[in-house]
Amino acid sequence: MNTYSNNGNDEPGSIIAAVIQFLPSQHKLFGDGLLFIEALILTLVSVYATRLIGVPEPGLIGIVLASAAMTPSLNRILALNRARIWSEEGNGRRVNLESIISGLSLFFGMFSAFIIIGITNSDSVIMEDFNFIVTRIHLDPNAVLSPERFSHGASIFQNNISVLMTLIIMAFIYRSLGAMFALGWNAGVWGVTMVLFMGGGRDTDLNSVVYAIIILIAILPHLITEAASYLVGALAAIFLSRGLTIYKINDTRINRVLAAVGSLALLAVGLVVAGALLENYIPRLVLELI
């Protein structure tokens, strides 16, 4: 089934998405690749166009624009999810997994765009465009990433669970728009932070490319796990938000919705725990090799 097909009359959120929809995407892997490309291009265009017209904090405004433009794409993923779950009894886990992978394609498209923006601009430009990120995490752009930064399992879990709860609330209230903004925000924070940490390698004896690869190896495992947890939590919140407004209490379908929401919520929390464990151990083990 076409992952990227336009279900119903849902308008694409941008001309970029409209053009991409003309490409055949009968295979899911290719369809997810198109979602990645859409997110990558839209994020780059949003940030640079906002900077070009002189809007303050173009990084923040770029996240808002790109997230809003990609909301119809997330809606199509959810519409396909609903159609397949209700038509294929007992197949919910596989369908939800495919939806999560499609959602992660959007997230990593945005994340890659912020990596590109960070690499192709000076630290001073990044500090100006993304000052809201640098100020929020109190990041020193000249700091070298050290193993000690990650040995705080309990506090890591508390922070990640609070992020998950915030995202769930946003997705419950604003549905796809809230979910996309939360994912875009995290993509921006992680992308910019990672690039600034890579820049810290200039003060080490390692080749800059080698140091950047080490940073990616150290951070990507927990980043992927945390992103998946946030997306799963967002799906649970959106399913609950829709179910409560569509189905009556005595409708048997609401029980199935609640069961799916409960399973997804437990999975999201489990992924947060796994992400905290990975963040507590993997970066420290990798960085101690430097």
239-288: pLDDT as tens digits: 999 999 988 888 888 888 898 899 999 999 999 999 999 988 888 888 87
Give me the domain span that covers residue 229: 15-287
Within-domain flag for 6: no
71: Cα within 13 Å, side-chain hemisphere: 16
Does residue 82 or residue 92 have the better pLDDT?
A: 82
Within-domain flag for 25: yes
201 pLDDT above the threshold of 70: no
Percentage of the residues of the chain whose pLDDT score is greater than 70 = 86
Q: What is the pTM of this model?
A: 0.88
Within-domain flag for 1: no
- Provide mean pLDDT across the span 168-173: 95
Within-domain flag for 258: yes
Tally of domains in the chain: 1
Q: Cα(28)–Cα(94) distance, rounded to whole angstroms?
A: 13
- Provide mean pLDDT across the span 39-51: 96
pLDDT of residue 289: 75
Number of H helices, E strands in the chain: 10, 0
Within-domain flag for 8: no
What are the φ and ψ backbone dihedral angles of 24, each rounded to 5 degrees? -70, 135
Percentage of the residues of the chain whose pLDDT score is greater than 90 = 49
- Provide mean pLDDT across the span 193-207: 73
**Residue 74 — pLDDT band, cuts 50, 70, 90?**
very high
One-letter amino acid at 39 equals A
Beta carbons of 241 and 175 less than 8 angstroms apart: yes
Within-domain flag for 82: yes
Within-domain flag for 7: no
The rounded mean pLDDT for the chain is 86
In degrees, rounded to 5, the angle at the alpha carbon of residue 230 between the alpha carbons of residues 219 and 46 is: 80
User: 86-90, 109-113, 228-232: which range is least confident on average?
Assistant: 86-90
- Provide mean pLDDT across the span 174-189: 93
10 pLDDT above the threshold of 70: no
pLDDT tens for 243-252 read: 999 888 888 8
Within-domain flag for 93: yes
pLDDT tens for 115-158 read: 999 999 988 888 889 988 877 766 665 555 666 666 666 787 88
